[in-house]
Amino acid sequence: MPEWGALRDREGPRAAYRWTWRPERRVLAVARNVTSVTRLLDVLPVAAADPRVDVVFTVDRGSAFDLGLAEFLADIGATVWPWRRAVRSRAFDLAVSASVNAGLRRIRAPLVTLSHGAGYNRLVPSSTGDGFSSAGLSRHELTHRGRVIPAVLGLSHPEQLERLRRSCPAAVERAVVVGDPCFDRIRVSLPRRDAFRRRLGVRDGRRLVVVNSTWGGRGTLAAALELPRRLVAELPADEYRVALILHPNIWYWHDPFQVRAVLADALDSGLRLLPPREGWRAALIAADVVIGDHGSTSFYGAALDRPTLLASPGAAEQIDPGSPTGALLRALPALSPGEDLRAAVERVRAAHTPGRHTAITGRTLGAPGESARLLRREFYRLMRLPEPETEALVRPVPEPEAETGDRPRAFLVDALLRADPGDGPAGTVTLRRFPVSPSAGGRPGAPPGAFLLALAEAGLRHLNGSPVLLRDDPEAETPAARWLDETLADHPGCLLAGAALDTRRLLLRHADGRELSTVAYRGTGGALEPALVIAAVYAWLREGRPPTGLRHGLRVRAGGTEGSVFVTPPRG
């Protein structure tokens, strides 16, 4: 890890003339892993924005999940002092840590410790030294030889004070309710929900299902590693988007390469994967449904009044049963093993009532909107520095930068056709598309009569098994007519092939040689996706209906997308 502070002496006799502005106080930010830094970045701005305050980081080594920490600190441009230098120095007026352990006693500055999640809830006997204290509130972590280590123990709600009184009475006088800075940032970001949804591809009436997993053997992925892949395969692509949030400890124990490799099929089928540092809060704000476990992400989702499903049956085993998180786990509806996922998502949405869990989550998220003010008050009191006259601001979270894989190149399509014998449009076809991953041949439990539609760049397995093939690139070099001839010759199982001519027109050719030309429009203006156009025409033709019946148009519906397809009579 680059420790630039060791190379740049800010206090030496020649340092004075190098400052552009001269700080009056210095804060030591104690990092332990990526998770702890994300919480520090929520709270440090209340002091770091003050030119009178200088912030230096150090790393309290010992976390099993410290992979990625050096890169994170380098990316934010932090000055990092070696731990040994930091704990020996008397240059600091305040230290802030989002974790607590007896090793912090060595810091020679008033120490503020905070939770790095939604309150204090986990039972971690290896850290607490007992089986009943919540991590962060135990005597083993908070004291050394009878002396309380932090000058201020930040609590998010007075409820935690009662549990602290049982687990470490000596620390009660150091406890201060400062609210939840993470959730305050979520709150002030709520007006940006529409922008967040657009960044995650949630358009045209789609709903966003956000899956999250904490680390270890009781998290969502430990219980159901296939859940993200199943969700993108079983939820209609025109009605849903699926995003995945993984605890940073998953990323940095298994390593990012392995995480992406394990999720590759789901990513290629449309899964949105949020990065480990930021983006998860924006995804929660954007969500319509949350599926998760005992981690803080699910707690915050429920606090946002999002319908929330519990996917990990063993989640409660690692949680203090007397904590609000323990109460929430007992109240959340659970995902049954083998349950149809679309039915489960629709079930939890239909059963949800606004404010259902507010009484529980409110017992963790105290002093709403006040965390910046309360934390700044404590920081400046300990630094013995007058507070700035400006308001302590809570900053909104940034827009999400989710990653995904290659676009889906094959779909199972379920088509419901209703013909209209009148003089207007020939009828209405309602389409539901289910992405098929490159390694899968189909989907268990696919609707009867569903057909496979493959794009030109799909794998040979899908090209050979699909009755409908589409080249949706209108700028492809091979002329459309030639591509259609070659495709039908190379893939005898193909019954209808199509090539895009521009954003509105497709040239289609049936296996019997009939050639059709289509023009499609969206009801809201613009163009219908070519895959929807060819799927609609195939749904009409496979019932033995003549293409001439579509000269007055066929209405197409897929999720929130609506449009019309017009077909010219075959040549000759």
Residues 248/65, Cβ–Cβ less than 8 Å: yes
Specify the length of the chain in residues. Answer: 572
In the structure, how many helices (H) and strands (E) does the chain have?
A: 23, 23
Query: 245: phi > 0 → left, psi -120 to 50 → alpha, else beta; which?
Result: beta
Residues 527/505, Cβ–Cβ less than 8 Å: no
Indicate the angle between helix axes 296-303 and 324-331, nearest 10 degrees. Answer: 70
Using 50, 70 and 90 to split pLDDT, how confident is the model at 525? low
Cα 179 to Cα 201: distance, rounded to the nearest angstrom:
33
Tell me which of 146-150, 151-155, 416-420 is least confident.
416-420
In the numeric block, which tokens belong to residue 90?
């008397």
pLDDT score recorded for residue 565: 92
Q: How far is CA 18 from CA 1, 28, 91, in A?
A: 25, 21, 18
Residues 330/173, Cβ–Cβ less than 8 Å: no
Residues 409/238, Cβ–Cβ less than 8 Å: no
Is residue 140 packed enough to be buried (19+ CB in 10 Å), middle (13-18) or exposed (0-12)?
Answer: middle
Residues 156/364, Cβ–Cβ less than 8 Å: yes
Cα 81 to Cα 133: distance, rounded to the nearest angstrom:
33
In the numeric block, which tokens belong to residue 289?
């449904």
Region 180-193 average pLDDT: 98
Cα 382 to Cα 36: distance, rounded to the nearest angstrom:
21
In the numeric block, which tokens belong to residue 565?
């397809």
Q: For the beta carbon of residue 367, count every other beta carbon within 10 angstroms.
A: 17
Q: For the beta carbon of residue 196, count every other beta carbon within 10 angstroms.
A: 24
What is the 3-state secondary structure of 116-173? Answer: CCCCCCEECHHHHCCCCCECCCCHHHHEECCEECCCEEEECCCHHHHHHHHHCHHHHH
Q: Locate tokens 């088509």: which residue? A: 415
Indicate the angle between helix axes 341-351 and 227-234, nearest 10 degrees. Answer: 90
CA atoms within 13 A on the CB side of 570: 13
Region 454-470 average pLDDT: 92
Cα 219 to Cα 180: distance, rounded to the nearest angstrom:
23
Q: How far is CA 312 from CA 174, 212, 221, 334, 339, in A?
A: 36, 11, 8, 8, 14
Domains of the chain as residue ranges with CATH: 4-183+368-383 (3.40.50), 192-354 (3.40.50.2000), 410-567 (no CATH)
Q: Locate tokens 């992400």: which residue? A: 297
Nearest to 469 by CA among 444, 482, 452: 452
| Percent of the chain topping pLDDT 70 | 95
pLDDT score recorded for residue 17: 74
Region 329-357 average pLDDT: 93
Q: For the beta carbon of residue 450, count every other beta carbon within 10 angstroms.
A: 17
The strand pair at 272-273 and 207-213 is best described as unpaired
| Amino acid at residue number 35 | T
- Is pLDDT above 80 for 443? no
Using 50, 70 and 90 to split pLDDT, how confident is the model at 4? very low
- Is pLDDT above 70 for 8? no
Q: How far is CA 122 from CA 51, 148, 161, 165, 460, in A?
A: 38, 21, 16, 17, 49
| Percent of the chain topping pLDDT 90 | 77
Tell me the three state secondary structure of residue 395: coil
CA atoms within 13 A on the CB side of 15: 11
Is residue 315 packed enough to be buried (19+ CB in 10 Å), middle (13-18) or exposed (0-12)?
Answer: buried
Q: For the beta carbon of residue 3, count every other beta carbon within 10 angstroms.
A: 19
Q: For the segment 9-45, what is each residue's pLDDT rounded down to a tens digit? A: 666 667 777 888 889 999 999 999 999 999 999 999 9
Region 119-125 average pLDDT: 90
| Amino acid at residue number 287 | A
CA atoms within 13 A on the CB side of 340: 9
pLDDT score recorded for residue 524: 67
Q: For the segment 253-293, what is each residue's pLDDT rounded down to a tens digit? A: 999 999 999 999 999 999 999 999 999 999 999 999 999 99
| Amino acid at residue number 80 | V
Cα 320 to Cα 327: distance, rounded to the nearest angstrom:
9
Residues 39/185, Cβ–Cβ less than 8 Å: no
pLDDT score recorded for residue 403: 96
In the numeric block, which tokens belong to residue 461?
């397995």
Question: Strand pairing partners for 97?
Answer: 30, 113
- Is pLDDT above 60 for 7? no
Residues 273/193, Cβ–Cβ less than 8 Å: no
The pTM for the full model equals: 0.93
In the numeric block, which tokens belong to residue 406?
């290659």
Cα 41 to Cα 21: distance, rounded to the nearest angstrom:
22
439-445's contacts with Cβ under 8 Å and 24+ in sequence apart are: 439/265, 440/233, 440/265, 441/465, 442/412, 443/233, 443/234, 443/412, 445/234, 445/340
Nearest to 487 by CA among 529, 534, 519, 446: 534
Angle at 229 between CA 299 and CA 445, to 5 degrees: 115
Q: DSSP characters for 251-270?
A: HHHH-HHHHHHHTHHHHHTT
Using 50, 70 and 90 to split pLDDT, how confident is the model at 316? confident
For the CA atoms of 124, 125, 130, 135, what is the dihedral angle to 10 degrees?
-20
